[in-house]
Structure 1
């Protein structure tokens, strides 16, 4: 390449021929550096175009003392900008996937819960009356065994026995009338209610 300062001065004045000469001299270095880091031909090509566009628009290229060092720093900065953009895009995509999965799971669980509540209601209708009454007072009304015992004028031990029988009945009914996923979800909710 002929006198670099004169070439840069000509480019600053808008000389396209001199710009083409500069481009042909440095394009392979810029492209190779970008490709080595980004591992993408299209991204490396974009960096190449951005770097040389910025050079073309630069008014005072001839004032740069170490053009090759300047060009390398400029290329590195553009590559880092692309990497930041890629990382942001990746993080955004991951966040969107997580949110979609969470909302999808919530919807699926809601449908399963509605189905499971219908099955539980059917089971309750088939339960012996005393067990059903104790179950509803404990589960639906949220009463403790002592409160149910006072209300029904029976011992807390009898309330506990009725609850054990009603839960056994429910488990048996559910295993016969549901698939395993719904069954596990119902059991999980029964355990949560029991606590």
Structure 2
């Protein structure tokens, strides 16, 4: 079995910073990646790659908001990962080899169905606003858009979700 191991040197002063960053943000970044990628294995890989990029970053000394900075790295990485895979539709939540995903925090089939109907950028916005409870200023910083654009896109996604719910309710009757 092939294992790709990456080594990099860490200054002693950075060790504490790295440990604090991991302790504070690892689970949040993992859940964020999972909600965009919709695959537990891809989310685990993405989380590791996000932190590796953060640790290797030459601009880490200039960061004023490490929270937004990490989410921005995660957002861009997940979208790039999806582009590389050319995923257009996402796998359903319940698959025989992915039953462990249920333990993440999301065992609601309806929620998963709704999330599967959204594009990755829309899911990222919903996760940041609702699950992560970020304000529009921070969302705009993470997504690289204006605050007004973030607010407008969120409103559009809410409308799209309402239509998905209405369609599923009329189909189920």
Q: TM-score, normalised by structure 1?
A: 0.37
Q: Which entry has the higher C-alpha Rg, 1 or 2?
A: 1
Higher relative contact order (CA 8 A, sep 6+): 2
When you count helix as a share of all residues, which structure comes out higher?
1
TM-score normalised by length of structure 2? 0.41
